Amino acid sequence: MDYNKLFKMHVAKLTDYDTIQILEFEIPNMITYGIKYSFDKDEKILTISGDFGVYVVRDFATPKKLYDIIINGRNIENPNIQYFAEKIVCSDHDIYYYDVDECITHLFEVIPEISDKRKLEDIKDALTDEIDERTPKDCNKNAIRKILSDYSPLDSYELYNHIDNMPIKIHQNIDIILTGFKFAWEQIHPKDIIA
């Protein structure tokens, strides 16, 4: 996604109410792709709302703290997104999801006993139905274990262990809200930009 294009027309506005700071990042006079970051200094809670979801994040009392810990000095394509995702206490969107190709590759690497090349496509098709774009909480791991147990001599415990270790990804909305925050903060505080 081209974040420069997405946020090109956005304008940042920071309002300080002593214990609450609100950073709004939106296109003036429009409601498209707006994001509001509300920082509660007393409770050390960040609430993010807008077109990319609603999130409540702990341990970020000020915009400066979020910028320094997550963004500052890092390439925007690789902010400390995992640390941020772990601080989310609730949201109306999923935070993590499975990428079916990565999961299947992982399972085939850790379960080398699946070697019947004629059946690989059948296994991939069955796994795709159970994993594709699912979240860890929605994924039917029992169904995945059943599919794999038909083709693998591993016991149930070993299969569950491999399934539990399938790689997860962080939803793109998390990256979008962090990138939006970076652009908004740097609009207001250009001196914080590290070249």
Q: At what angle do helices 100-110 and 156-164 cross, to 10 degrees?
A: 140
176 within 8 A of 1, measured Cβ to Cβ: yes
Q: What's the pLDDT tens digit per position in 125-167? A: 877 877 776 677 677 777 777 777 776 667 767 777 888 888 8
C-alpha angle 146-147-148 in degrees, rounded to nearest 5: 90
Q: How many residues does the chain have?
A: 195
For 55-77, what is each residue's pLDDT tens digit?
999 999 899 889 888 877 554 55
Residue 189 CA to residue 184 CA, distance in Å, equals: 9
**100-126 pLDDT per residue, tens:** 788 888 887 877 766 555 667 777 787
Among 126, 123, 133, smallest CA distance to 100 is for 133
